[in-house]
């Protein structure tokens, strides 16, 4: 919830783990967990953090990507994309049932 609020300005309700795995990044190897979540609100003005306050990091834009959008293929890790293509509809239905 904190990461969503900080980096997206989003208020979310968090559900179960949808996918977990290792993410091999150039400077680190880390375990990542992705959760189902229901978006309650989104306000770009509430975004904070070093990613947004240090201009040398570049600019960040919040995008919504549908499960059939070819841009989803660019997301990483690729295993997460495969899982979303296979189970994304089911996960969206589960997320819609989350209550706060």
Query: What's the Cα-to-Cα distance from 26 to each of 23, 29, 30, 41, 87, rounded to whole Å?
Result: 10, 8, 11, 33, 29
For residue 18, report the phi and psi dihedrals to the nearest 5 degrees: -95, -30
List, for residues 40-62, the tens digit of each pLDDT value: 999 988 998 777 888 888 888 88
User: What element of type H or E holds 53?
Assistant: helix 50-53
For residue 79, report the phi and psi dihedrals to the nearest 5 degrees: -65, -35
Domain count, the chain: 1
Q: What is the DSSP letter of 75?
A: S
List, for residues 64-78, the tens digit of each pLDDT value: 889 999 999 998 888
Tell me which residue range forms the domain holding 89: 2-96
């Amino acid at each position: 919830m904190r990461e969503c609020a900080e980096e997206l300005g989003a208020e979310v309700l968090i559900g179960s783990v949808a996918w977990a795995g290792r993410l091999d990044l150039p400077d680190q190897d880390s375990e990542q967990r992705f959760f189902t979540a229901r978006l309650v609100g989104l306000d770009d003005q509430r975004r904070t953090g070093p990613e947004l306050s240090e201009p040398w990091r570049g600019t960040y834009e919040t995008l919504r990507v549908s499960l059939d959008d070819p841009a989803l293929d660019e997301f990483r890790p690729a295993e997460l994309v495969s899982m979303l293509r296979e189970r994304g509809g089911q996960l969206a239905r589960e997320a819609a049932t989350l209550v706060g």
